[in-house]
Amino acid sequence: MKTYCIPFFVEGEITLHALVHWIPFFIYFFAGSVLVTHNHLWEKFPNFGQHITIATFFIYLTAIDWLCLTPSMFNFSSANKLLFYFHGVPFNIIPLQGLSQEFFLNIVMTLPLGVYLYLINHQMPFSRAILYGFFFSLFIECNQFVCDLLFHIGRVADVDDLISNTIGTTIGFAVMIILDQTIFHQAIKQFMLVGGKSDKLNN
């Protein structure tokens, strides 16, 4: 994923041109804030551990929003890929042309998503968790393409990201299934939005 950074400041002033690139980030940030407050999640899940799950999940989604839908100062080296262009917006639809550092960083980035999916609903079938990971990643990539087209955020929608993000979510969910069968069950249960113990090992 190629990125560039659009600075907020030019000679000490915030430019309107720079702020435009950050519109997608603020849209999703405020949408997430409204969703949390409107649904009264604090009242629905009153336990302290559940509050931690909700709060950190919101922080995690905000971090994903920042990492994926804003111009970034980070530029990870990536393998050379054949890119396609639509109105000047690059995208990659050929999978695994070459693995880069970014591929594995994306796996790490979405590991927590699998963890949160388990804490939100540990009764979720394993196959559905994989689908959630896939569609979450697809949502990100489509947003990157559209936001680059409209707001020029300098992101590249990449099918490799779709693969690596799905892998990361799957690993995170699988790790939680395994840990929930161990002595860590009682600790994990404190952070579940739905109580109980998973039996997904046989699914």
- 9 has a pLDDT exceeding 70: no
- 175 has a pLDDT exceeding 90: yes
- Domain residue ranges of the chain, discontinuous segments joined by +: 16-75+88-202
Share of the chain above pLDDT 90, in %: 56
Task: Identify the band that residue 1 occupies on the pLDDT scale cut at 50, 70 and 90.
Answer: very low
> Average of pLDDT values for 52-77?
84
Question: Which range is least confidently modeled, 53-57, 80-84, 140-144?
Answer: 80-84
pTM: 0.84
Instruction: List Cβ<8 Å contacts ≥24 apart for 133-136.
Output: 133/165, 133/166, 133/168, 133/169, 133/170, 133/173, 134/162, 134/166, 134/169, 136/110, 136/165, 136/169
